[in-house]
């Protein structure tokens, strides 16, 4: 269900003339936050984080007529820091250098 919601949001963006890129690292971070969560986070929760990031990107893009691309990075997700930083003991750390913007918007 969460994948359907994300694809619906992306479809809306595309109909409005925006290209949407969701980086693999964003998917991985959402999945890792769910797997390592001690609360009731589910795949649907992870999908909600992605949908929310796409919606926020669209709002920002609509305010700037020069922007034609919405890029969702790990920093775009509104995951609680405790969930985002929680890792299984054998999970190696990610190299997230270079992701310094919550939403990267590029002109055409």
How confident is the model at residue 83, as a pLDDT? 53
The b-or-e profile of 25-50 (16+ CB within 10 A means b, else e) is bbbebbebbbebbeeebeeebbbbbb
Q: Which of 50, 51, 69, 73 is nearest to 61 (CA)?
A: 69
Can you give the length of the chain in residues? 108
What residues contact residue 90 under an 8 Å CB cut-off, 6+ apart? none
pLDDT at 32 (0 to 100): 83
Q: According to the model, what pLDDT value does residue 87 have?
A: 53
In the block, which residue shows the tokens 């054998």? 90
Instruction: Give per-residue pLDDT as tens, 50-71.
Output: 888 999 999 999 999 898 999 9
Predicted TM-score (pTM) above 0.85: no
**Residues of the chain below pLDDT 70:** 1-5, 37-39, 80-108
């Amino acid at each position: 269900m969460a994948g359907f919601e994300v694809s619906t949001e992306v479809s809306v963006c595309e109909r409005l003339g925006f290209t949407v890129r969701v980086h693999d690292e964003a998917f991985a971070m959402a999945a890792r936050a769910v797997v390592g969560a001690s609360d009731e986070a589910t795949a649907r929760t992870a999908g909600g984080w992605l949908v929310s990031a796409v919606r926020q990107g669209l709002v920002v893009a609509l305010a700037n007529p020069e922007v034609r691309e919405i890029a969702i990075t790990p920093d775009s997700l509104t995951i609680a820091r405790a969930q985002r930083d929680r890792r299984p003991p054998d999970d190696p750390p990610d190299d997230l250098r270079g992701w310094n913007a919550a939403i990267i918007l590029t002109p055409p």
